[in-house]
Amino acid sequence: MSTVAGSDGLLRCPWAVASPDYQRYHDEEWGRPVAGEAALFERLSLEAFQAGLSWITILRKRPAFRAAFAGFDPAAVARFTDADRDRLMADAGIVRNRAKIDAVIANARALLQLPAGESLEELLQQHRADPQRPAPKPPRTYPLPLPNPPPWPRP
């Protein structure tokens, strides 16, 4: 991967010099482990809100998300009511997508249903890739498409 010098002369990934928000994220968070229930719940929730949008949009709205979702405390979010959902849908500081809001609330409730002594961090750890697993092959090593591919199904 190539690097470019930021305004401070430090080398960074090319995407990181596009804005001060990206630079701060790159320098302080990107590629670093996330630990703790609230921090992991926040990251998963924000990743869900990011679907279909750019990450910079979510980074810029993150303070409003934190305020709107009780600091991403799963127990607090799990107690959200229909009135809270309405409040969130009216909050211009966050992404107002009912399905995503409902998913965050449902996920908080699901976290509270984990077996005693099990945490989100442990659950995620169970699904982490084996560090000994070889890296995927580069795309150029995969076979080319068939010379006469079958036609796409038509409705």
Q: Are 63 and 21 in contact (CB under 8 A)?
A: no
Q: Using alpha carbons only, how large is the chain's radius of gyration in Å?
A: 20
Annotation says 55 is catalytic:
yes
Active-site choice (25, 30, 37, 121): 25
Active-site choice (29, 47, 118, 122): 47
Q: Are 19 and 56 in contact (CB under 8 A)?
A: yes
Active-site choice (15, 30, 37, 55): 55
Secondary structure class of 72 (helix, strand, coil): helix
Annotation says 25 is catalytic:
yes
Distance between CA 120 and CA 109 in Å, rounded?
A: 12
**Burial (0-12, 13-18, 19+ Cβ within 10 Å), 16:** buried
Residues annotated as catalytic (active site), given as ranges: 25, 47, 55
